[in-house]
Each structure stands twice: as C-alpha cells, then as structure tokens.
Chain A
Amino acid sequence: MLRSDHILATVEMIQKENLDVRAVTMGINLLDCRGGDVRETCRRVEEKIGTVAAHFVTTCDQVSQKYGIPVVNKRISVTPIAFVGAGFDRHGFVELALALDRAATAVGVDILGGFSAQVEKGMTATDREYIASIPEALARTEKICASINIASSQKGINMDALALIGQTVKDLAEITKEQSGFGAAKFVVFCNQPGDNPFMAGAIHGLEEADLVLNVGVSGPGVIARALERLIHTKGRDNLGLDDIAEEIKQTTFRVTRCGELIGRQVSKEMGIEFGVVDLSLAPTPTVGDSVGEILQILGVDVVGAPGSTAILAMLNDAVKKGGIFASKAVGGLSGAFIPVMEDAVLAEAVGSGALCLEKLEAMTCVCSVGLDMIPVPGSVDADTISAIIADEMALGMINNKTTAVRLIPVPGKEAGELVSFGGLFGASPIMPVRNVGKSRRFIAWGGRIPAPLHSFKN
C-alpha cells in the first residue's frame, strides 16, 4: 500500500526539484555494416541506424509522457568507428562521420557518440588515419562526438598516441576557431574507457556489448542539492553530522535511480531491446541550481577549490554510488560525480574568481568521475603541454584503476580570464590559466609507452 508521506516526498522531488532522466542512450553495434568500400559501408551504417533507431525518440517521448518524467537527451552510441573502418584512410573516416551525422539527424537524436578508437597499447595504420581525420570529421558534422582510449590499468599509457592527441586537440580548436574552438568540446581522451557509458562526449558501444542495448543516465545534482537544503532547514545545521548528510544523499540517489531504471526498462521493453545499465553519474548542466559545485558549497566550503573540496567530493561520490547501486539491477558506465567546468555554473564562477585552479581540479578528479572535463584554456598553450596535462590525468586513472578523461578546449586567440561561451548544455566559463606552459616538451618527445602498473603493493 502506498503511504501518503511517500507519495508527497516523491511529488516534491518530481515537481520542485526538477527530477528528470538525463540521458537514454541506445548502443548499436556497427561491425556488421562493413562493406567492400567506404561508400557501401556508409550506406549500411545509415540503413542500420535508420532501421533499429527509427522509433527510439518517439518511444522515449511516449514513456516520458506516460510517467510524467522528462527524458532530456536521446542519444546513440556506436561501435568505436576505427574498428568499423579498418583499412580506411582519413578521407574514408570523414565520410563515415558524415554518414553517422546524417543517420543521427534522420532518427532525431541529440548526439551520436562512438567516432572512436582504442589505442591504449599500440596504434594500427588505421588508427593513425582515424586520428588524422578527427579535426575535419568533427568540424563538418553537427551531432558527432569523438573519443579515444589511450591508457588503461592493464596496458599502461600509449605515449605515441598521446603526443598525437595533444596536436589533434589544438587542430580541432583551430579548425573551429570561428566557434571559439568548439570542436574540442566534442572530443574526449580516456583512460579505462567504459563501453556502456550513456554520457557524451565519451559514449561508445563497446565491443563486449550485445547487438543493441539501452543505457540510462540519471538525473542531475539539482535534486541532491535541494534535498540537502531541505534536510538542513528542517533539522537545523547544529543537529546534523556529515554521516546524516551522506545518508540523505544515499536515500535521494536511491529514489532518483529508481526513476531512471523504471523509464529505461520501459523504453527497452517497448522497443524490444536489452536494457544495459544505469549510470549513476551526477551530471551538472549550466542551469542555475543544477550544479555539483553548489553541493560542495552547501556542504561547507565557501568557494569550490578551497581546502576540503576534495574530501566533500569524495563523500558525495561514494554516497551517490551506495544509494544508486542498491536501487538498480545493473549499474555501469562512469557512475560518479562529474566536474565539467563549463557545464557547471558554480565551478565556472570559481575559475573566474581564481579560487579553482587546474591542479586542484586534477586532485579532485582522483575521487570522482570523470576527469579534467570541459576546461577552456588559453589558445596559446602548446600541443606538448596539452599532451602532458592529459598524461597526468591518464596516470591517475591507470594507477587508481578508475576511468579518467580529459576534454580541454584551447580557445584560439583568447587568454586566461576571458570568457568563452558555447551555449546550451555546453555552457560558459572564464578561460582557466595554465601554469608552467612549454616545460614538458622533453617528456612528450620520448614517445613509446608508460608500462602497465603493478596491481599489488598499493600505497
């Protein structure tokens, strides 16, 4: 029997706290689309996506209407494209990107991810052609996101790929300089990239996955922030400890995750495809009140970046997982609090005031998901320095057996402190200063690999 207080608590969450399902992402295997040449492959890719995802967006909308909970983003992830286009040159990969873009537009999804490769140990000739195609492919498409896995705890870090990627990020920003380097916001570099992540820009349909699968990313941090404010207001700050706060986060996450699971399973049932995982990530949006930074402030630091920020984030991240894992049959993806600077108004503000620096962000990514994300840096920062920043973040993921990622935007023609805005979900932020620019050149010049680390003697 449903109890009135439970009903009202849920109504409060849905109505006042803007509960939504952040992303429903349909994973599609494209390995069976390979044709004899680029043209035939592109045709098959478009045909398959157009067929299997024909009713995806309308089904999401119908389920969303039935349950009265918005599904904010409908997305597609595909098999890392370097596998599909094995043997293609860079022009072939650009053609594939254009085909994917047409397919995504035809079925009406917001974004398509999986223009990707996995090169954590070594690169094939195809992988090099794929990397060379990235700037043009992303500049000429609207809905395509790219990602590359260049490191893992099992294989180490591919430093040859890393060196290429620093330059790729620069080229991406340069080729889209009319849009303040927006191309770089659609490309993310990973260590330990999961194959079932529903969030962009890093969503792929991993090789280990079934033909079709549906993954769900749950609601944002706004719900947690409002729940904490209500708890503090009701109980009084002096009567609460951090364990009470952690408990509230757990319970709220439980309810939020359940809604995501319900919607996801319903969409998957209606479409007759397998339900994959719920990703428990707290993904902020630039909307005021939907910020991970705000939660940190509610929990006791006046500005994000102040001492204590890392500890609070660690507790938040852990409590979210504990609540969510019990709520869902299968959890996967990135599952952690994101701290993407441009997409989180409070983090962007902390960058503007100088409270939050790159090094503190790096420290914070040790205890949360997913890495140095959506950070605009001066366009004058050189490719080797960008590679070295990525190397540091990859090392954190490799040693700590977690996913880390980097999405830097070297904004052409702009310097630290100047504002850059991409609008919509991509947000805005002052450009973050980078210290010690140009001092890592000899390190990046080595190339080769950083060997896989030990998995014992953990200190």
Chain B
Amino acid sequence: MGKQMVMSVMSKDRPGIVADITGVIYQLQGDLADLNQSVLCDYFTMILIATFDDSVTPEDVVAGFSHIRSETKLEVVVKEMDTPMEVAKAKRVKETYILTAQGKNKSGLVHRIGLFCYQHGINILDLATTLSGDQYTMILQLDLSRVTSVDTIRTSLTHYAEESGLTVVLQHEDIFKATSEISLF
C-alpha cells in the first residue's frame, strides 16, 4: 500500500495555501487520503495524510514544500506513520458527548478542563473556544468510551462546576443532531 505520511503545515493565512500544499503532494504522485484545516486569528494550520510511492522519503516532501515561493513561510513537519491505515476504514468513535463550559475568562480554564478529562479517562476529539467580552466559552467533543459510568462523570462535573465557577453541561451528541439537523436519526 505504499508509504503513508502525516504532514502538518502552519503559516500566516493568505489565498493559495491549499493549492500550494496539495500541489506538492500531486507532483510527488501522492494520494491524499484525508485532511483537516483551520484558521485562527489570521494563522492557517493543516494536518494531512497521504500515501506515496515507497521511493519517496519524508525529506523529499519537506523539500517540495520548501520550493514553494511565497511571502509567507510555511512551517512543515512530515512523519512516516508508524502503523499505516486505510483512512476510509479507520475506526470512528461510535458515540460522542458534547461538553460546554462557560464562565468569566481567567487563565488556566482550558488547562483545568483538559486535566479533568485526562483524570477521568476522557479523550478530547475536538475543542473550540470563543471569547466574547469577558465571557469564555469552551465546547469539547468527547470520547467517553473508556468511561464506565456517565453518571459518575456528571457527578464529578457538578463538583468541577462548583469549584471552577463555570456553567458546565454534558450532553450526548445525538441531542444536538436531533435539534439542529433536518434529517431524522
């Protein structure tokens, strides 16, 4: 199945970055399997997975990126994947929960919620935060598959909410799908 590599790219945002990055992979005859990109405060970041011929090395890919001519510098990390996988058949988490935490902004909020998740064996699949005035909102998509009792987590969260002064709500993802999407489960 060739050589599977994972690539991470960061740059100041500008038009044309996606075309440049994918152009390098195309020229090396790589097969792009999946990617995820995000822009935050004018900075662009992307993570990609692609399969190349066995003769292509991570160094070749980095060299390809370094030949891109632009005013913004691309920071690139390329690694060969330890255990290659078929992206189309990759295991998705069966069911996830959404945790929202809102409160007055102060330092350490994300760290503390991250620590809470770690201590309870919860994996964070996605995390987005917004600051509006002095109100900080964190929305986390969580994998609770290693958790034996959601009830215990809810109890712990109630204590966590009291200690941190945050308003914390944990709901199954299906609730949000049901209330926000047209198609019926």
Report which of A7, A13, A15, A67 forms a contact with B167, defined as CB distance below 8 A: A15
User: Which of A70-78, A254-262, A290-298, A445-453 has 4 or more CB atoms under 8 Å from chain B?
Assistant: A254-262
Q: Is B150 positioned at the interface, with any CB of A under 8 Å from its CB?
A: yes
| B171, A68: Cβ atoms closer than 8 Å | yes
Compute how far the CA of A14 lies from the CA of B100 in the bound complex, rounded to whole angstroms.
12
Measured between beta carbons, the chain B residues less than 8 angstroms from A69 are 175
| A68, B154: Cβ atoms closer than 8 Å | yes
Q: Report the minimum CB–CB distance from A60 to chain B (whole Å).
A: 15
| A68, B172: Cβ atoms closer than 8 Å | yes
Asked if A68 meets B180 with Cβ closer than 8 Å, knowing A4-B130, A8-B100, the reply is no
Digitize B89-105: 1 where CB-to-A-CB distance is under 8 Å, 0 elsewhere.
00000000010100000
| A2, B180: Cβ atoms closer than 8 Å | yes
| A14, B176: Cβ atoms closer than 8 Å | no
| B185, A13: Cβ atoms closer than 8 Å | no
Measured between beta carbons, the chain B residues less than 8 angstroms from A262 are 174-175, 178, 185
CB closest residue in chain A, given B182:
A326
Asked if A67 meets B174 with Cβ closer than 8 Å, knowing A2-B180, A3-B180, A261-B184, the reply is yes
Q: Is B73 positioned at the interface, with any CB of A under 8 Å from its CB?
A: no
Measured between beta carbons, the chain B residues less than 8 angstroms from A15 are 167, 169
Digitize A40-77: 1 where CB-to-B-CB distance is under 8 Å, 0 elsewhere.
00000000000000000000000001111100000000
Measured between beta carbons, the chain B residues less than 8 angstroms from A3 are 180
Q: Is B139 positioned at the interface, with any CB of A under 8 Å from its CB?
A: yes
Report which of B137, B167, B173, B185 forms a contact with A2, defined as CB distance below 8 A: B173
Q: Is A329 positioned at the interface, with any CB of B under 8 Å from its CB?
A: yes
Give B149-185 interface residues, CB cut-off 8 Å to A: 150-151, 154, 167, 169-180, 184-185
CB closest residue in chain A, given B177:
A2
Q: Is B41 positioned at the interface, with any CB of A under 8 Å from its CB?
A: no
Q: Is A265 positioned at the interface, with any CB of B under 8 Å from its CB?
A: yes
| B173, A255: Cβ atoms closer than 8 Å | no
We find that the number of chain B residues with CB closer than 8 angstroms to chain A is 25
We find that the number of chain A residues with CB closer than 8 angstroms to chain B is 25
Q: Is B128 positioned at the interface, with any CB of A under 8 Å from its CB?
A: yes
Measured between beta carbons, the chain A residues less than 8 angstroms from B137 are 4, 8
| B176, A4: Cβ atoms closer than 8 Å | no
Q: Is A10 positioned at the interface, with any CB of B under 8 Å from its CB?
A: yes
Digitize B111-139: 1 where CB-to-A-CB distance is under 8 Å, 0 elsewhere.
00000000000000000101000000101
Compute how far the CA of A43 lies from the CA of B130 in the bound complex, rounded to whole angstroms.
62
Q: Is A455 positioned at the interface, with any CB of B under 8 Å from its CB?
A: no
Compute how far the CA of A67 lies from the CA of B178 in the bound complex, rounded to whole angstroms.
12
Greatest chain A CB density within 10 A among B150, B177, B179, B185 is at: B179
Compute how far the CA of A9 lies from the CA of B171 in the bound complex, rounded to whole angstroms.
13
Q: Is A311 positioned at the interface, with any CB of B under 8 Å from its CB?
A: no
| B174, A7: Cβ atoms closer than 8 Å | no
Q: Is A235 positioned at the interface, with any CB of B under 8 Å from its CB?
A: no
Report which of A7, A8, A265 forms a contact with B185, defined as CB distance below 8 A: A265
Q: Report the minimum CB–CB distance from B147 to chain A (whole Å).
A: 12
Give A305-340 interface residues, CB cut-off 8 Å to B: 329
CB closest residue in chain B, given A67:
B172
| B169, A11: Cβ atoms closer than 8 Å | yes
Digitize A153-181: 1 where CB-to-B-CB distance is under 8 Å, 0 elsewhere.
00000000000000000000000000000
Compute how far the CA of A4 lies from the CA of B171 in the bound complex, rounded to whole angstroms.
14
Compute how far the CA of A335 lies from the CA of B172 in the bound complex, rounded to whole angstroms.
27
Measured between beta carbons, the chain A residues less than 8 angstroms from B174 are 67, 262
| B100, A7: Cβ atoms closer than 8 Å | yes
Give B60-85 interface residues, CB cut-off 8 Å to A: none
Q: Report the minimum CB–CB distance from B59 to chain A (whole Å).
A: 35
Measured between beta carbons, the chain A residues less than 8 angstroms from B128 are 4
Asked if A6 meets B172 with Cβ closer than 8 Å, knowing A15-B167, A265-B185, the reply is no
Asked if A7 meets B98 with Cβ closer than 8 Å, knowing A14-B169, A14-B171, A65-B151, the reply is yes
Compute how far the CA of A259 lies from the CA of B175 in the bound complex, rounded to whole angstroms.
6
CB closest residue in chain A, given B98:
A7
Digitize A187-229: 1 where CB-to-B-CB distance is under 8 Å, 0 elsewhere.
0000000000000000000000000000000000000000000
Report which of B139, B167, B173, B185 forms a contact with A4, defined as CB distance below 8 A: B139
Measured between beta carbons, the chain A residues less than 8 angstroms from B176 are 2, 6-7, 10
Report which of B172, B177, B179, B184 forms a contact with A13, defined as CB distance below 8 A: B179
Measured between beta carbons, the chain B residues less than 8 angstroms from A10 are 171, 175-176, 179-180
Compute how far the CA of A69 lies from the CA of B151 in the bound complex, rounded to whole angstroms.
13
| B184, A259: Cβ atoms closer than 8 Å | no
Compute how far the CA of A66 lies from the CA of B95 in the bound complex, rounded to whole angstroms.
11
Compute how far the CA of A35 lies from the CA of B144 in the bound complex, rounded to whole angstroms.
50
Q: Report the minimum CB–CB distance from A7 to chain B (whole Å).
A: 6
Measured between beta carbons, the chain A residues less than 8 angstroms from B151 are 65
| B172, A7: Cβ atoms closer than 8 Å | no
Compute how far the CA of A9 lies from the CA of B178 in the bound complex, rounded to whole angstroms.
13
Digitize A5-46: 1 where CB-to-B-CB distance is under 8 Å, 0 elsewhere.
011111101110000000000000000000000000000000
Measured between beta carbons, the chain B residues less than 8 angstroms from A2 are 98, 141, 173, 176-177, 180
Compute how far the CA of A13 lies from the CA of B175 in the bound complex, rounded to whole angstroms.
11
Using a CB–CB distance below 8 Å, which chain B residues touch chain A? 98, 100, 128, 130, 137, 139, 141, 150-151, 154, 167, 169-180, 184-185
6 A-B pairs with C-beta separation under 8 A? A11-B169, A13-B179, A68-B171, A254-B179, A255-B178, A258-B179
What 6 A-B pairs have minimum CB-CB distances, sorted nearest first? A6-B180, A258-B178, A255-B179, A262-B178, A10-B179, A67-B172
